[in-house]
Protein backbone atom coordinates (compact mmCIF):
# COMPACT_ATOMS: atom_id res chain seq x y z
CA UNK A 1 0.00 0.00 0.00
CA UNK A 2 1.30 3.50 -0.73
CA UNK A 3 2.53 5.81 2.01
CA UNK A 4 1.70 9.49 2.26
CA UNK A 5 3.87 11.89 4.23
CA UNK A 6 1.60 14.35 6.06
CA UNK A 7 2.69 17.86 6.88
CA UNK A 8 1.02 21.17 7.69
CA UNK A 9 3.88 23.12 6.14
CA UNK A 10 6.36 21.68 3.60
CA UNK A 11 9.21 23.55 5.31
CA UNK A 12 8.48 21.81 8.63
CA UNK A 13 8.92 18.25 9.83
CA UNK A 14 6.06 15.94 8.77
CA UNK A 15 3.24 15.12 11.19
CA UNK A 16 3.51 11.44 10.33
CA UNK A 17 2.79 8.86 7.68
CA UNK A 18 -0.58 7.73 6.39
CA UNK A 19 -0.88 4.17 5.12
CA UNK A 20 -3.97 2.28 4.02
CA UNK A 21 -4.55 -1.21 5.41
CA UNK A 22 -7.27 -3.80 4.84
CA UNK A 23 -9.98 -4.73 7.29
CA UNK A 24 -12.04 -7.38 5.58
CA UNK A 25 -12.97 -5.85 2.24
CA UNK A 26 -12.59 -2.28 3.52
CA UNK A 27 -9.51 -0.09 3.37
CA UNK A 28 -8.75 1.71 6.62
CA UNK A 29 -6.44 4.74 6.87
CA UNK A 30 -3.73 4.42 9.52
CA UNK A 31 -1.81 7.49 10.69
CA UNK A 32 1.50 6.75 12.39
CA UNK A 33 2.82 9.93 13.99
CA UNK A 34 6.38 11.10 13.49
CA UNK A 35 6.89 11.02 17.27
CA UNK A 36 5.90 7.34 17.35
CA UNK A 37 8.29 6.43 14.55
CA UNK A 38 11.06 8.44 16.23
CA UNK A 39 10.42 6.67 19.55
CA UNK A 40 10.75 3.19 18.02
CA UNK A 41 13.55 4.09 15.61
CA UNK A 42 15.24 7.37 16.58
CA UNK A 43 16.63 9.45 13.74
CA UNK A 44 20.35 8.90 13.36
CA UNK A 45 22.90 9.14 10.63
CA UNK A 46 22.66 6.12 8.36
CA UNK A 47 19.18 5.03 9.53
CA UNK A 48 17.37 6.75 6.68
CA UNK A 49 14.45 9.12 6.69
CA UNK A 50 11.02 8.78 8.20
CA UNK A 51 9.69 6.46 5.49
CA UNK A 52 12.66 4.11 5.75
CA UNK A 53 12.43 3.98 9.55
CA UNK A 54 8.68 3.33 9.30
CA UNK A 55 9.30 0.49 6.85
CA UNK A 56 11.73 -1.26 9.22
CA UNK A 57 9.01 -1.35 11.92
CA UNK A 58 5.94 -1.52 9.70
CA UNK A 59 4.65 -4.80 11.16
CA UNK A 60 4.74 -3.43 14.74
CA UNK A 61 2.85 -0.27 13.74
CA UNK A 62 0.25 -2.21 11.75
CA UNK A 63 -0.17 -4.75 14.57
CA UNK A 64 -1.00 -1.90 16.95
CA UNK A 65 -3.35 -0.39 14.37
CA UNK A 66 -5.13 -3.72 13.84
CA UNK A 67 -5.63 -4.15 17.57
CA UNK A 68 -6.93 -0.58 17.94
CA UNK A 69 -9.36 -1.22 15.08
CA UNK A 70 -10.57 -4.46 16.68
CA UNK A 71 -11.06 -2.61 20.00
CA UNK A 72 -12.98 0.17 18.25
CA UNK A 73 -10.33 2.81 19.00
CA UNK A 74 -10.71 4.86 15.84
CA UNK A 75 -11.15 8.53 15.12
CA UNK A 76 -14.59 9.81 14.12
CA UNK A 77 -13.66 9.55 10.44
CA UNK A 78 -12.54 5.92 10.83
CA UNK A 79 -8.81 6.63 10.81
CA UNK A 80 -6.68 4.62 13.21
CA UNK A 81 -4.00 6.83 14.78
CA UNK A 82 -0.90 5.13 16.16
CA UNK A 83 0.77 7.46 18.63
CA UNK A 84 3.47 7.31 21.29
CA UNK A 85 1.10 6.38 24.13
CA UNK A 86 0.07 3.26 22.19
CA UNK A 87 3.58 1.85 22.55
CA UNK A 88 3.08 1.37 26.31
CA UNK A 89 -0.64 0.55 26.24
CA UNK A 90 -0.97 -2.94 27.76
CA UNK A 91 -4.31 -3.55 26.04
CA UNK A 92 -2.67 -3.04 22.66
CA UNK A 93 0.31 -5.23 23.50
CA UNK A 94 -1.59 -8.13 25.11
CA UNK A 95 -4.35 -8.17 22.48
CA UNK A 96 -2.05 -7.78 19.49
CA UNK A 97 -3.15 -10.37 16.91
CA UNK A 98 0.34 -11.06 15.55
CA UNK A 99 2.33 -11.54 18.75
CA UNK A 100 4.20 -14.79 19.23
| pTM assigned to the model | 0.81
pLDDT of residue 22: 84
pLDDT of residue 63: 92
- How big is the CA angle at 16 (ends 13 and 18), to the nearest 5 degrees? 140
pLDDT of residue 100: 41
- What does the pLDDT look like over 16-68, one tens digit per residue? 899 988 888 889 999 999 999 999 988 887 777 888 999 999 999 999 999 99
pLDDT bracket for residue 79 (50, 70, 90): very high
CATH H-level superfamily of 3-94 = Shew3726-like (3.30.160.140)
pLDDT of residue 31: 94
CA–centroid distance for 46 within its chain: 22
- What does the pLDDT look like over 91-100, one tens digit per residue? 887 666 544 4
- What does the pLDDT look like over 2-15, one tens digit per residue? 555 655 555 567 78
Amino acid sequence: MPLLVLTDDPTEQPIGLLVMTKSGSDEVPVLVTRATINTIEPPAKGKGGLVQRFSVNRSKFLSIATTKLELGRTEQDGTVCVNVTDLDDEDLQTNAPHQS
